[in-house]
């Protein structure tokens, strides 16, 4: 006996529109930063442009993954295609790590050079401010959807890191304009690389948790078991499993032992309804599966 209610999550047309708008903003600023880096000679601005490029790639991946994830379930993929979002997030994390390594190598090489290249701090400052404003707008657009989708969260973290990167470039540009210390540009590049790594690791951990079918963060199996046992007519519960298809889409399954009389007099339907409502209301689980068993039932399962 089970409930096939659709799993929650913001993966519809509205979600894709947000990603598309963010992609447009990111692409425009990317072009501006590349042009600005060429004319100003700023490595930090070029690094931020490289970060913007990965943002654009990440948003494309997220947009494609979101479209695929919206496909309905079928006989071959009974849970649908929501795991496409997780694979998109994995690709984002790999891109972030590769980018951070490239930025760090380039920055160290520049710092070790005896002669520092000329950096136009004024132009660098103007382009960085434009990037900061654009990233702030994109971050605001994605802030709501990222709470429910691991895929959109990957894109959100990309934009957040870019906003911080733009802030670092602004600081470096101000230092160059006021003091002429051009090495601030390479230092800002290293700072951008350092900001990227923790975000990538955090995203990888979340992806590993989903793919490893671990219990969603913040959900306590012991509390769920207690709620089930408090339901009138329930004698015991075993084989409790909780995992998630993607962020915001938890799935629950359990074998519930009920009093024999409940199965005989028709009260089992009421018990099943109360259990499903409990999971939905208290633990925000829309897809729950319960197997109701009589007290004398013998489980023919290796995991009993």
Do residue 166 and residue 237 come from a single domain?
Answer: no
Instruction: Please report the pLDDT score of residue 175 as a whole number.
Output: 92
Question: Residue 5 domain-assigned?
Answer: no
In a domain? residue 299 = no
Q: Tell whether 123 and 229 lie within a shared domain.
A: no
Reported as a single tens digit per residue, the pLDDT across 224-248 is: 888 888 888 888 888 888 888 766 6
For residues 183 and 227, membership in a common domain is answered with no
Would 36 be classed as within a structural domain? yes
State which of 211, 246, 271 marks the end of a domain: 211
Its pTM surpasses 0.85: no
My answer on whether 36 and 128 are in the same domain is: yes
Residues 85 and 152 in one domain: yes
Residue 247 lies in a domain: yes
Domain limits for position 199: 13-211
**In-domain check, residue 1:** no
H, E, C per residue of 147-182: HCCHHHHHHHHHHHHHHHHHHHHHHHHHHHHHHCCC
Domain count, the chain: 2
Provide the CATH number for the domain around residue 264: 3.30.70.1350
Structure-token pair, residue 3: 């409930």
Asked if residue 57 and residue 179 are part of one domain, the reply reads yes
What confidence score (pLDDT) does residue 2 get? 42
pLDDT, tens digit (0-9, with 9 covering 90-100), for 31-48: 888 888 888 888 888 777
Contacts (Cβ under 8 Å, ≥6 apart) of 76 = none
CATH of the domain at 57: 1.20.1510.10
Q: Which residues partner with 173 through β-bridges?
A: none
Cα–Cα distance between 108 and 31 in angstroms, integer?
25
108 part of a folded domain: yes
Average pLDDT per block of 10 residues along the chain, 304 residues long: 40 66 84 86 79 73 67 66 74 81 85 75 88 86 72 73 84 90 87 80 84 79 86 86 77 87 82 85 79 72 46
Q: What is the pLDDT of residue 174?
A: 92
Residue 3 lies in a domain: no
Do 30 and 76 lie in one domain? The reply is yes
Of 188, 211, 234, the residue that ends a domain is: 211
193 and 234 belong to one structural domain: no
Whether 72 and 124 share a structural domain: yes
Are 47 and 195 found together in one domain? yes
């Amino acid at each position: 006996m089970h409930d096939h209610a659709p799993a929650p999550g913001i993966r519809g047309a509205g979600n894709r529109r947000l990603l598309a708008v963010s992609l447009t903003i990111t692409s425009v600023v990317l072009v501006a930063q590349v042009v600005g880096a060429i004319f100003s000679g700023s490595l930090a601005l070029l690094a931020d442009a490289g970060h913007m490029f990965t943002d654009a790639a990440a948003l494309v991946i997220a947009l494609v993954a979101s479209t695929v994830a919206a496909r309905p379930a079928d006989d071959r993929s009974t849970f649908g295609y929501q795991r496409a979002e997780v694979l998109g997030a994995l690709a984002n994390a790999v891109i972030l790590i590769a980018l951070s390594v490239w930025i760090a190598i380039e920055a160290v090489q520049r710092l070790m050079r005896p002669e520092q290249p000329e950096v136009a701090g004024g132009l660098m400052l103007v382009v960085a401010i434009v990037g900061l404003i654009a990233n702030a707008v994109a971050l605001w657009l994605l802030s709501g959807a990222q709470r429910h989708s691991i895929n959109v969260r990957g894109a959100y973290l990309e934009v957040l890191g870019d906003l911080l990167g733009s802030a670092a470039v602004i600081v470096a540009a101000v230092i160059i304009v006021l003091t002429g210390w051009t090495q601030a540009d390479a230092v800002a590049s290293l700072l951008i690389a350092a900001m990227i790594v923790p975000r990538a690791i955090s995203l990888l951990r979340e992806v590993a948790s989903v793919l490893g079918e671990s219990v969603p963060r913040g959900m306590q199996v012991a509390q769920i078991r207690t709620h089930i046992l408090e339901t009138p007519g329930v004698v015991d519960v075993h084989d409790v499993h909780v995992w998630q298809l993607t962020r915001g889409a938890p799935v629950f399954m359990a074998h519930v032992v009920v009093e024999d009389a409940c199965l005989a007099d028709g009260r089992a339907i009421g018990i099943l309804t109360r259990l499903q409502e409990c999971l939905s209301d208290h633990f925000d689980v829309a897809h729950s599966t319960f197997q109701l068993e009589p007290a004398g039932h013998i489980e023919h399962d290796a995991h009993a």
